[in-house]
Structure 1
Amino acid sequence: MTPPPNLPTYSRAQLALRNGNDRDEIWCAYQGLIYDVGTSRLWRNGTHYEHWAGQDLTDELADAPHTELVFQRFIAVGILAQ
């Protein structure tokens, strides 16, 4: 997925704060992009089954019952710093 131009870059520590508890934002990263998943009722309170917001979920997608296309439902809000 190609990131939209001019997205800010966030560190893993900054992403971790967007877990639905420390701040109102509920964000997750996938393949280097950070998505706002707060609009999904499935991410209410920052959890989705055994997954937690504020993390890079790239490696966990293989265990999910859906494909990466699910991220097309959400707005990319940033780039995860390497």
Structure 2
Amino acid sequence: MDSLPEYTKQQLALRNGQDKPEVWVAYRGVIYDVTESRLWRNGKHYEHWAGQDLTDELPDAPHTETVFEKFEKVGRLNT
């Protein structure tokens, strides 16, 4: 994972499906590309917006962190 590029929160925020075509989210310092997921169309998944770190929000979700296993890791979040 150390070979993944590092992105700032500002760079992640641009990958929201609107400012740029990519739809990315971060969880525990890892950035995932969820562009192909039908659940993230237009950069929104229920009340969550793409381009953000979802670490603090996941405990309230109806699923676990294993949901990220099906998505490509594209970077690391520089906090």
When the two structures are superposed, what TM-score results if normalisation uses the length of structure 1? 0.94
Give 1:5 deviation, angstroms. 3.8
| Long gaps (5+) in structure 2 | none
1:42-81 map, 5 Å = 42-81=39-78
Paired amino acid for 1:17: L
Say how many residue pairs are matched.
79
Q: Residue 32 of structure 1 is aligned with which of 14, 22, 29?
A: 29
When the two structures are superposed, what TM-score results if normalisation uses the length of structure 2? 0.98
Runs (4 or more) in structure 1 with deviation over 2 Å come to none
Q: Residue 18 of structure 1 is aligned with which of 15, 20, 34?
A: 15
C-alpha root-mean-square deviation of aligned residues, in Å?
Answer: 0.6
Write the deviation string for residues 26-50 of structure 1: whole angstroms up to 9, x where unpaired.
0000000000001100000000000
Paired amino acid for 2:57: E
- Secondary structure of 1:34's aligned partner: strand
